[in-house]
């Protein structure tokens, strides 16, 4: 981990603990998700047409508190990695991204098993994935590897 990665991890982990205090969701996993979803902060979604910065740390699609951004991304469809154009939620700051993530997870029935397992980071991320949060078949392992390498868990 280089200095920029370490700084990003520390900043995100602090935000993740604030989110944990409000939601009860595991800060270790939230921080690791941000790192994976943004490539250590280098790839926060930016609109391909306008250059608008999204502050979206979790790769959540749709419309956020500041609208959305159109981005070329990758999805796994029928086991194949393909390029797609998708709308990602946009926020006014990183804090809004954490709040929205918590609202999404706590408010959607499909994440019920994840919420039940929020005190066990490994079970939590596996349940998030099973519920369809990410299409990458290796998503839970990638998140756990990051969390361990950063000593979040």
**75: annotated active-site residue:** yes
**141: annotated active-site residue:** no
The single residue of 37, 96, 100, 127 carrying the catalytic annotation is: 100
The single residue of 10, 75, 120, 141 carrying the catalytic annotation is: 75
| Residues 121/29, Cβ–Cβ less than 8 Å | yes
CA-wise closest residue to 70 among 93, 41, 49 = 49
How far is residue 59's CA from residue 36's CA, in Å, rounded to a whole number? 10
> What 3-state class would DSSP assign to 48?
coil
Question: What tokens does 124 get?
Answer: 């939590």
Give the ranges where 24-150 is alpha helix by DSSP (H).
Answer: 27-38, 94-107, 112-116, 121-130, 139-149
Active site residues: 75, 100
């Amino acid at each position: 981990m280089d200095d920029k990665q370490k700084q990003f991890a520390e900043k995100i982990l602090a935000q993740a603990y604030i989110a944990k205090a409000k939601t009860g969701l595991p800060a270790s996993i939230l921080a690791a998700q941000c790192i994976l979803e943004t490539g250590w902060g280098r790839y926060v979604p930016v609109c391909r047409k306008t250059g608008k910065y999204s502050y979206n740390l979790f790769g959540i699609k749709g419309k956020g508190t500041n609208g959305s951004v159109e981005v070329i991304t990758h999805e796994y469809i029928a086991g194949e990695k393909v390029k797609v154009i998708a709308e990602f939620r946009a926020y006014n700051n990183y804090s809004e991204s954490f709040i929205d993530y918590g609202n999404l997870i706590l408010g959607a029935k499909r994440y019920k098993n994840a919420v039940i397992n929020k005190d066990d980071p490994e079970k939590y991320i596996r349940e998030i994935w099973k519920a369809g949060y990410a299409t990458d078949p290796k998503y839970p392992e990638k998140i756990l590897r990051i969390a361990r390498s950063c000593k979040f868990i």
